[in-house]
Amino acid sequence: MNDTNQPRYFALLPAAGVGARMAANGPKQYLPVGGKPLLRHAVDAFRASALVAHTYVVVSADDGQIDGVLPPGLDGVTVLRCGGATRMDTVLNGLRALQGQLRDTDLVMVHDAARPGLTPALIEKLVHGVGDHPAGGLLALPVVDTVKRSADGVSTVPRTGLWLAQTPQMFSYALLLRALGSAPDANAITDDASAVEMLGLSPRLIEGHPRNLKVTLPADIRIAEMYLAADA
């Protein structure tokens, strides 16, 4: 069998943000959580997965902290210093930097650097759940709480069919490059799936886990540490 027909899986982590909502003295991806930086937790999950061929981390060109978190030569990891002004720009710049290295059919898993609760088991669940779905897919959680909308009063939003998007979000290299490259407004793309949806496609939703939360506010650090402590 020709191994070019076998799917290859790569991880891409945009890590060029400043984490303004954390009110920290630096980018939140470098904040210590459970004894090591947020970013390193996420990277180590991909390094521990036998399914992932390689992990790419995209940082800003002037990032002075990344070498201390991901030392040059770290097995299975490459740092790309081509981060952009927005998350979408950073992912797109990373994808373009990999042209000629990745095949169109390779599967790229884009993951938030601030989600330290990812595990190899969740990566495997995503890969097997999405399978060969042409529109790719993502980890997500079905909404279980009652949802309220506050606009000219308070109203209840039916939660049937509502999901909270997580990452990784996985798409073929060619599809993700096309979707992000044709998106009309980088600020409107809050996740990669939304860009794919703009092409008229429907990515597959794979149920994730609450432990895979995104650390956005200071209080989230303690929640993340609770999940990480359960693994110890």
Q: Which residue has the higher pLDDT, 1 or 172?
A: 172
User: What is the tens place of the pLDDT at every residue in 47-94?
Assistant: 999 999 999 999 999 999 999 999 999 999 999 999 999 999 999 999
CA 80 to chain centre: 16
Percent of the chain residues past pLDDT 90, beyond the cut: 87
pLDDT at 5 over 90: no
Q: What was the pLDDT predicted at 185?
A: 86
Alpha helices in the chain (DSSP H): 38-47, 66-69, 87-97, 120-130, 173-182, 192-197, 218-231
Q: What was the pLDDT predicted at 22?
A: 52
Q: Smallest Cα–Cα separation from 121: which of 208, 34, 31?
A: 208
Beta pairing partners, 109: 11, 170
Residue with tokens 């703009």: 198
**To the nearest whole number, what is the mean pLDDT of the chain?**
94
CA distance linking residue 176 with residue 193, whole number of Å: 9
Residue with tokens 């790719």: 136
Residue extents of the structural domains in the chain? 3-231
Q: What was the pLDDT predicted at 24?
A: 58
Q: If DSSP codes are grouped into helix, strand and coil, which group holds residue 78? A: strand
Confidence band of 196 (pLDDT split at 50, 70, 90): very high
Reported in sequence order, the residue ranges of the chain that DSSP labels E, i.e. its strands, are 9-14, 32-33, 36-37, 52-59, 77-81, 107-110, 137-142, 147-150, 154-157, 163-172, 204-207
Q: What was the pLDDT predicted at 1?
A: 42
CA distance linking residue 214 with residue 117, whole number of Å: 9
pLDDT at 232 over 90: no
Beta pairing partners, 164: 141
**CATH homologous superfamily for 3-231?**
Spore Coat Polysaccharide Biosynthesis Protein SpsA; Chain A (3.90.550.10)
User: What is the tens place of the pLDDT at every residue in 99-156?
Assistant: 999 999 999 999 999 999 999 999 999 999 999 999 999 999 999 999 999 988 999 9
CA distance linking residue 116 with residue 103, whole number of Å: 28
